[in-house]
């Protein structure tokens, strides 16, 4: 089944990173028609294609030529939204100029560092955004090197911000009849996500600090680790009673309510003899049965066989333009129990060019 929340919304996506690509993916998930527009020879995000491009149409058009520019102008006049992230000065400038001639068009343009300011013209990457935003500074353990976030999280967060910008501008257009030019900076989007740490620095002697241990209440089992939240006194008392263990006189003050957060290492040692021969699944189920908050440390591969996620049909098997079907997480939302189906494939590069350009000859251009 396909979602219909944004049914009838037509979108052009011009992308070479997950900034616009992830925004387009979210729009597809919500039922919009998304046409991925590419320059000849530019096949986009490569390894990300099967994940980001499912359900989209693929059109190749060289808008740098006179004929291509004419077709681009007509194409933009037939859609509601343009989402872009290209940073090549010439094509980006020409695309923006064409968008500006369509008063009802919503144009959401994304970049790593923003279109203005001292850093606007500097080369960038997801890692650079993570460093400049403060993400690397607070990520990791005290006394060790800062860590970056996995994957392309900075640009994905920018994609989410772009998606919100699309929705806000489309709602506004419904009221005013006018399109909007919306700008999204990955740096500012990530700084916004880190808002609690930024605020913390204003009232905690200057800077938030990385914790002495990033492991928290992760404890070792025979086949991995479980997370057990022991901060609540009820949970702590339940665990001690269930396992029949008592802290030593030396450890008792460290394990008092309000003190346990400071003594993660001692708690892991204390639980060690009980958990060393037990599987994490058994410990997880045992904790849940007595209402102690707990979880398991899962690898990405573990997720594909997790019975809870499988029961919720959280994954799609998607076939790309080339290669075997692969498994991907579905969208993170449902409406009335419905979410996008798994039958949407990834288009071959340029597969929809001929049919779309032919339709422009008769398609109504929006005012």
The string of pLDDT tens digits covering residues 102-131 is 999 999 999 999 999 998 888 899 889 988
Q: Are residues 178 and 52 in the same domain?
A: yes
C-beta separation of 339 from 331 below 8 A: yes
Q: What is the mean pLDDT of residues 334-346?
A: 69
Q: What is the pTM of this model?
A: 0.84
Q: What is the number of structural domains in the chain?
A: 2
Asked if residue 205 is part of any domain, the answer here is no
DSSP H or E segment with residue 199: helix 195-203
Buried b (16+ CB within 10 A) or exposed e, 235-259: bbebbeeeeeeebeeeeeeebeeee
Tell me the two tokens of residue 109. 């343009």
Q: Are residues 68 and 178 in the same domain?
A: yes
Residue 1, pLDDT above cutoff 50: no
Binning pLDDT at 50, 70 and 90, where does residue 214 land? Answer: very low
Beta strands in 118-222 (DSSP E): 181-185, 218-221
Sheet holding 81-84: strands in order across?
57-60, 33-38, 10-14, 81-84, 106-111, 181-185
Residue 180: Cβ within 10 Å count: 18
Asked if residue 33 is part of any domain, the answer here is yes
CATH number at residue 354: 3.40.50.10540
Kindly report, residue by residue over 250-296, the tens digit of the pLDDT: 999 999 998 888 888 899 999 999 999 999 999 999 999 999 999 99
Give the residue numbers spanning the domain of 184: 10-197+313-360
Q: Are residues 344 and 288 in the same domain?
A: no
Least confident of 77-91, 184-198, 294-308: 184-198
Q: Are residues 227 and 157 in the same domain?
A: no
């Amino acid at each position: 089944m396909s979602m219909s929340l944004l049914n009838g919304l037509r979108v052009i996506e011009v992308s070479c990173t997950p900034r616009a690509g992830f925004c387009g993916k979210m729009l597809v998930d919500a039922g919009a028609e998304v046409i991925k527009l590419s320059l000849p020879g530019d096949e986009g995000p490569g390894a990300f294609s099967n994940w980001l491009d499912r359900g989209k149409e693929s059109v190749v058009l060289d808008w740098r030529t006179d004929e291509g520019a004419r077709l681009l102008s007509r194409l933009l006049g037939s859609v509601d939204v343009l989402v872009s992230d290209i940073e090549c000065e010439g094509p980006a400038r020409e695309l923006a100029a064409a968008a500006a001639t369509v008063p009802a068009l919503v144009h959401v343009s994304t970049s790593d560092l923003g279109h203005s300011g001292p850093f606007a013209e500097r080369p960038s990457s997801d890692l650079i955004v993570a460093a400049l935003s403060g993400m690397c500074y607070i990520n990791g353990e005290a006394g060790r090197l800062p860590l970056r976030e996995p994957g392309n999280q900075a640009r994905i967060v920018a994609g989410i911000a772009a998606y919100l910008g699309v929705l806000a501008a489309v709602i506004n257009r419904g009221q005013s009849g006018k399109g909007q030019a919306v700008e999204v900076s990955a740096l500012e989007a990530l700084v916004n996500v880190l808002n609690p740490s930024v605020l913390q620095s204003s009232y905690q002697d200057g800077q938030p600090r990385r914790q002495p241990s990033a492991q928290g209440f992760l404890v070792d089992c025979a086949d991995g680790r479980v997370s057990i939240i022991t901060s609540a006194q009820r949970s702590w008392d339940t665990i001690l009673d269930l396992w029949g263990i008592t802290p030593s006189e030396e450890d008792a003050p460290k394990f008092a309510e309000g003190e346990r957060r400071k003594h993660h290492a001692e708690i892991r040692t204390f639980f060690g003899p009980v958990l060393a021969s037990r599987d994490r699944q058994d410990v997880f189920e045992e904790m849940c049965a007595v209402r102690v908050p707990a979880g398991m440390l899962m690898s990405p591969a573990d997720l594909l066989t997790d019975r809870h996620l499988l029961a919720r049909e959280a994954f799609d098997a998607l076939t790309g333009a080339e290669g075997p079907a692969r498994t991907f997480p579905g969208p993170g939302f449902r409406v009335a129990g419905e979410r996008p189906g798994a039958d949407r494939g990834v288009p071959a590069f340029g597969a929809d060019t001929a049919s779309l350009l032919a339709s422009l000859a008769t398609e109504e251009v929006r005012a």
